[in-house]
Amino acid sequence: MLSTCIITDLRKTIAHHERTLGCVKGEVAFFHFNAQHPNSTSTGAAFRAILAQLLQSNKEDIAFIDLATLLLEDMGSGQASATDQEIQSIIQVYLGRLGTSFLVFDALDECTDWEDFIETLDRITQYSECRIVILGRPHLSIATVTGAHPFQIYLETQQNLEDMKRYLEPKVEVLYRRGKLPKTLTASDIVNKIANRADSMFLWVVLMIGYLSSPLLTPNH
């Protein structure tokens, strides 16, 4: 939820700056690590997704397409698909041609090789105007990997409480009207109970709604 809002806001900001200030073209690309999908947990998967977005948004940029083609030919792996190194090299060169751009990565804690990912990310963005936004649980320390000291924001338990309630209210109302929830509590009571017990974990809220929506569940359970 948070990363989606960040991506939307960054795209609007870049478009505004290009339109009103004449800034050099920038990009916003993103990747969400997801432990529930094995193909979405590695460094390679993240950068393949980033390159795919850059290619898609610049498919009319002949110079960029030619650049990517030349790099692939020069590196010459001979494989049917580009290697991780080739992909990273293309991203690195292209980011160097852009104005201020942003890469957004969500759920870093679900990346199986997150330390390698951080090192690679640091290397391919160091000579560009690219800014990085990373979301994840606070037990991972990026500073210990790169030696840098990134700006960090820690969300306290209550800071996304109202957002969770806004997400819950319409869904709980529907369940309440369908008789899926006990009438001993109001819909508002149920929303507050779920949100407070979530301990700021949005995923827990989503899973709880999925559980309460199960056709096998009755109000007695």
Q: What mean pLDDT comes out for the span 15-25?
A: 83
Distance CA 151, CA 131 (A): 11
pTM confidence score: 0.73
pLDDT of the residue at 179: 85
* Residue 116 pLDDT grade (very low, low, confident, very high; cuts 50, 70, 90): very high
According to DSSP H, which parts of the chain are helical? Answer: 2-21, 43-57, 62-75, 84-97, 114-125, 143-146, 161-177, 187-197, 202-212
* Residue 1 pLDDT grade (very low, low, confident, very high; cuts 50, 70, 90): confident
Distance CA 72, CA 83 (A): 9
CB 166, CB 140: distance < 8 Å: no
Which domains are delineated in the chain? 2-146 (3.40.50), 161-212 (no CATH)
Q: Could you tell me which residues come within 8 angstroms of residue 142 by beta carbon, excluding any fewer than 6 positions away?
A: 118, 134, 148, 150
In degrees rounded to 5, what are phi and psi of residue 156? -75, 165
Fill in the DSSP letter of residue 159.
T
Q: What mean pLDDT comes out for the span 94-121?
A: 93
* Count, residues in the chain: 221
Mind listing the pLDDT tens digit for each residue in 145-200? 776 777 888 777 778 889 899 999 999 999 988 888 888 889 999 999 999 998 88
Sign of the dihedral defined by the CA atoms of residues 62, 76, 124, 1, in that order: positive
Q: How high does pLDDT run on average in the chain?
A: 86
* Residue 71 pLDDT grade (very low, low, confident, very high; cuts 50, 70, 90): low
Distance CA 72, CA 77 (A): 8
* Residue 55 pLDDT grade (very low, low, confident, very high; cuts 50, 70, 90): confident
